[in-house]
Amino acid sequence: MEAQQMRREMEQITYRISMVARMVECHPQTLRMYERLGLVEPRRSQANIRLYSREDVERVRQIKRLTQELGVNLAGVEVILRMLDHMDRLQEEIKRLQEALAHGPPALGPATERAAREVEVMFKEKS
């Protein structure tokens, strides 16, 4: 239980823009530009201070790798990140569906069973 609590606390850690700039070795203005372009969306404190999560920092590192190591322009980065986000959502949906199938098909309620019988009868009558 303590491991789960530590993991939750680690997920909640946030960094200010100056710290993130040092961590990823870029200028704070670069981070502001990434935010303006919608490439990263840090939360804001009540005082309107940018608060970057660990996921945000990793996303900035990913942007940096794409631009500096692979030579991708920011428009390309945007497309790649959108595709990666979409793939993540699809993988989550596949996992959810696999878990649902592992528990067997859902039980049909009386109304659904009745409707299924009526459809079956209609098809038999047309044949």
Residues 4 and 44 in one domain: yes
Structural domain tally of the chain? 2
Give Cβ neighbours of residue 82 (< 8 Å, ≥ 6 apart).
none
Give the DSSP H or E segment for 53: strand 50-53
Q: What average pLDDT score do residues 19-23 get?
A: 98
**Which of 47, 46, 57 is closest to 15 using CA atoms?**
57
CATH number at residue 68: 1.10.1660.10
What is the average pLDDT value for the chain, to the nearest integer? 88
Q: Which pTM does this prediction carry?
A: 0.69
Residues 51 and 16 in one domain: yes
Tell me which of 35, 51, 72 is where a domain ends.
Answer: 72
Do 85 and 93 meet the contact criterion of CB atoms below 8 Å apart? Answer: no
Residue 117 banded pLDDT, cuts 50, 70, 90: confident
Residues 85 and 122 in one domain: yes
Task: Give me the domain span that covers residue 37.
Answer: 1-72
> 84-95 pLDDT, tens per residue?
999 999 999 999
Q: What average pLDDT score do residues 37-65 get?
A: 97
pLDDT higher than 80, residue 62: yes
Mean pLDDT check: name the lowest of 9-18, 45-54, 65-74, 79-88.
9-18
Residues 44 and 83 in one domain: no
